[in-house]
A and B are shown apart, each in its own frame.
Chain A
Amino acid sequence: MNTLNAGDSIITYNQSESSLTFEGSMRLANMKEYDVVSQFLKTSSESSTDTLILDLQPLQFLNSSGITTLSLFILNCKKKGNPKITVLGNESISWQQKSIANFKKLWNEVEIKI
């Protein structure tokens, strides 16, 4: 398992389950600071063959730069056509109720489970 500490949050990539789990509160200051997250997502997706699970359930907070980073990642996967994305959300966290559904607008093949 690979992990990345991004401020007050941790991203864990589990290759055997092909999942990326986001925990804590992602509040890096700007897009430049999110470069390291983008790179981690890219590397993880390259070793995922079929479907990649983005588990956002333990993610309490995600700022605007963070949602932009995730959205650009999904658009990039869409462009390449793989891996397919499944997003796991938590309906008790208010930002997830609205924002996660928008990932499907970005790429129709994204599966949302909330």
Chain B
Amino acid sequence: MAQYGNNPETPNSEWSREKEDLLGEVHDLKILYETVAEHSSTIENELEQKNQEISSLIQQLKKYLSPQLYNLIVGKTGNASLNYNRKFLTIFFSDIVGFTEISDRTDPEVLSELLNGYLNEMAQIAIKYGGTIDKFIGDALMIFFGDPEYTSDQKHAQDCCQMGLEMQSKIEKIDQQWIRRGIPQGLKVRMGIHSGYCTVGNFGSENRMDYTIIGGNVNIASRLESLAGPKSIFISSVTKNLLSQDFISHFNQTFQVKGIHYPIEVFELLGYKKVKHPGTNPYLLINRHGFVFEKIIFDNASSNPEKLKQIEKALKSLLSHIEKYNSV
């Protein structure tokens, strides 16, 4: 009977060697696996850290872009290219009256603080109404509605006009702050709004581009702004025709723009009847030009006590306004 146990050449010792080799390979593979897994984790952690850094940078970028444009760049396409298209937009311009004089007479630190405060307030109102802030040009603001997000021409015009009215209302409060801070003329702003087809897109070079609008209608909006007086909003007849009856405006003038054959009718935007904040009377709107008193249809059977109260209040305010006017 053959004895294999102690002979190095026997199958048993060969198996042992093979087993040892295999165990060695398994051990190596285990370490290889661990090496790769640890390496992957390091890379993943680094990736996560970089993602956080990018998110933080994107958050900072948000300050400089309108929310719509921000979403367009960050959320959907991930790329902004030098392309453009024609769109019907409502365009808004505003400018501080006498700003050159203010800036000559005011300490630069105070001026920059006040100007930034004002522009910040205006930007917040613009964002609230969904406007795309095109640019700040010194003290001037250029905003448009209708791109990159489109709802309807009417909605854009109405949002833009409401934005303008809310801005003027906010400016009245800021005006007092400016006077208190040593600017005797305070803050008075003129605004212009027009609607029409514009070319919208990214203009510039591949390395430095601006998302903006160009075209004759942009110039008209700018001209309307320069025609407007302090604290007033001038709108074109095109914009006016897109507004609901809740907006109050009156005819101001016609003007001719170079390159456009027909004269443009200009209206001054005075207010909005259905102001949603509490305390506003739906029947009476008082503005610096006078007042607008709504037609009242009172029915004994259907009119409720709340309506009666509002009518009574409107009439009292109206009489008081007339008395005040007569006494001046």
Contact = CB atoms under 8 A, between A and B. Distances in A.
Interface in B25-46: 28, 31-32, 34-36, 38-40, 42-43, 46
A37 to B, nearest CB: 16
A72 B32 contact: yes
B17 to A, nearest CB: 15
Q: How large is the interface on A (under 10, 10 to 19, 20 to 34, 35 or more residues)?
A: 10 to 19
Given A102-B31, A105-B31, A106-B28, A71 B36 contact: yes
Interface in A56-87: 61-64, 67-68, 71-72, 75, 78
Contacts of A97: 42
B35 A95 contact: no
Contact of B43 (A95, A102, A105): A95
A67 B39 CA distance: 8
B39 A64 contact: yes
Main secondary structure of the interface of A (DSSP, over half): helix
A113 to B, nearest CB: 18
A16 interface: no
Contact of A64 (B28, B34, B36, B46): B36
Nearest to B32: A71
A105 B35 contact: yes
B28 A102 contact: no
A102 B46 contact: no
Contacts of B31: 102, 105-106
B250 to A, nearest CB: 67
Interface residues of B, number: 12
A103 to B, nearest CB: 8
B150 to A, nearest CB: 41
B32 A62 contact: no
B42 A102 contact: no
Nearest to A95: B42
A5 interface: no
A94 interface: yes
Nearest to B46: A94
Contacts of A106: 28, 31-32, 35
Contacts of B35: 67, 71, 99, 102-103, 105-106
B39 A95 contact: yes
Contacts of A95: 39, 42-43, 46
A98 interface: yes
Given A75-B32, A105-B35, A98 B43 contact: no
A18 B46 CA distance: 33
Interface of A: 61-64, 67-68, 71-72, 75, 78, 94-95, 97-99, 102-103, 105-106
Interface of B: 28, 31-32, 34-36, 38-40, 42-43, 46
17 contacts: A61-B43, A64-B36, A67-B35, A67-B39, A75-B32, A78-B28, A95-B39, A95-B46, A98-B38, A99-B35, A99-B38, A99-B42, A102-B31, A105-B31, A105-B34, A105-B35, A106-B32
Sorted nearest first, the 6 A-B pairs with minimum C-beta distance are A102-B35, A99-B39, A67-B39, A105-B31, A95-B42, A71-B32
